[in-house]
Amino acid sequence: MPIYNRIADFHEDLVATRRDIHAHPELGFEEHRTSDLVAQQLEAWGIEVHRNIATTGVVGVLRGSGNSKRSIGLRADMDALPMDEEGTPKHRSTNPGKMHACGHDGHTTMLLGAARYLAETKNFDGTVHFIFQPAEEGGGGGRVMVEEGLFDKFECDTVWGMHNSPDLPAGTFAIRPGPLMAAVDMAKVTINAQGCHAAQPHMGKDPIAIGVQLYTAIQTIVSRNVDPIKSAVVSVTMFHAGSAHNVISQAAEMCATIRTFDPDVRGLVEERIKDLCLGIEKMHGVDIQLEYEHGYPATVNHEQETKRAIEIAKEVVDPSMIDADIPPTMGGEDFSYMLQERPGAFIWIGGGKTDNDPALHHPKYDFNDEVLPLGASYWSKLVELELPKN
């Protein structure tokens, strides 16, 4: 394939870039060095560069040969995770407490590879916007970019995203129409009760006992309220109370994550948690405060663009290497905000880990450099097919 062969010619450059980013990870909205690197490379290839979108975001604008008004957006995320790297590659993190454990270093590099190839060939008619987004890991950088007028400043008929999946074989792609990743919400419950001496429990109101009842009740939301045909996850992940063995605490705190695909189910779970907090509050005569935070919405692929993504992948790999109906995952992704604004699709690219290799968000995870040319080739072929020359 001509595209792959050309990109493979500068594979070593891509590896060097990816490992440089990996060695210098930066957290959400702090990707100053990474943004500098991205901007410098884009400018070196003659691509128009716009900076400081959502603080550290970068958008490169490349116009092809011709006068077409068609335009598309290709998005990659740049931020790292707040964790120490335990692996020992030569390019391991030099920033304590920060690590590229989700492969965003690879995502950024694959899009840079496509930008380099497309700037060199310009075998398309229209405009490509290379969107380098900050703060995907919980910061909502995609939402901020949209709120700051991303698609007003850089008109895109469609928008496209890609994420590595080490669980899938290297050299494969996977996608599905409709919900691909879940909406992510968070709940924090504070039980303000009445502390007392542990030897006189009748003199107080035990927030731990109350919290255990609330925890048990929350487990019935999915099993007894959500349609079994639909999906939801409610996981209580933190429960804190007390500091001494002979004191019944004055308060307790619980936190939970809620994952859903269907907006109606998302609303149902929120209402049931509110109802349970109110009911148990009245039953025990305590004060229960609920902070409910809506996180990323579900990542929902548009049907027509999903079909196009599959057709494009078939131009890059053998059709047998494509899963066109992969099951959705309960993980979250803030590319969802962009898909709410423009039609598009989000695709997985296989990373090819073995049973003993670490998965995403593991302190020893490292992106597979062998798939860099494949990801860049997919992006490049997408542009050439979506913005064909007349």
* Amino acid in the structure at residue 51: R
Check: CB of residue 145 under 8 Å from CB of residue 57. Answer: yes
pLDDT in tens, the chain (390 residues): 799 999 999 999 999 999 999 999 999 999 999 999 999 999 999 999 999 999 999 999 999 999 999 999 999 999 999 999 999 999 999 999 999 999 999 999 999 999 999 999 999 999 999 999 999 999 999 999 999 999 999 999 999 999 999 999 999 999 999 999 999 999 999 999 999 999 999 999 999 999 999 999 999 999 999 999 999 999 999 999 999 999 999 999 999 999 999 999 999 999 999 999 999 999 999 999 999 999 999 999 999 999 999 999 999 999 999 999 999 999 999 999 999 999 999 999 999 977 788 999 999 999 999 999 999 999 999 999 999 998
What lies within 8 Å, CB to CB, of 216 at 6+ separation is none
Give the number of domains in the chain.
2
Both structure tokens of 218: 């929350």
Domain containing 170 — which CATH number? Answer: 3.40.630.10
Whether 236 and 347 map to the same domain: the answer is no
Whether 84 and 147 map to the same domain: the answer is yes
Provide the annotated active-site residues.
79, 136
Whether 168 and 233 map to the same domain: the answer is no
End-to-end Cα distance, the chain: 21
DSSP string over 161-188: EEEEETTSPTT-EE--SEEEE-EEEEEE
- Structural domain for 103, as ranges: 2-181+299-386
Q: Supply the DSSP symbol for 81.
A: B
Whether 84 and 195 map to the same domain: the answer is no
The reported pTM is 0.94
Whether 260 and 209 map to the same domain: the answer is yes
Among 247, 277, 294, the domain-final residue is 294
Whether 136 and 50 map to the same domain: the answer is yes
Question: What's the residue count for the chain?
Answer: 390
Whether 159 and 100 map to the same domain: the answer is yes
Q: Could you give the strand order of the β-sheet that contains 183-192, starting from the edge strand earlier in sequence?
A: 232-241, 251-260, 183-192, 287-294
Among 294, 328, 357, the domain-final residue is 294
Residue 334, Cβ neighbours under 10 Å: how many?
A: 27
Whether 119 and 39 map to the same domain: the answer is yes
Whether 177 and 226 map to the same domain: the answer is no
Domain containing 204 — which CATH number? Answer: 3.30.70.360
Q: How far is CA 390 from the centre of its chain?
A: 36
Question: How far is the C-alpha of 129 from the C-alpha of 2, rounded, in Å?
Answer: 23
Among 273, 294, 315, the domain-final residue is 294
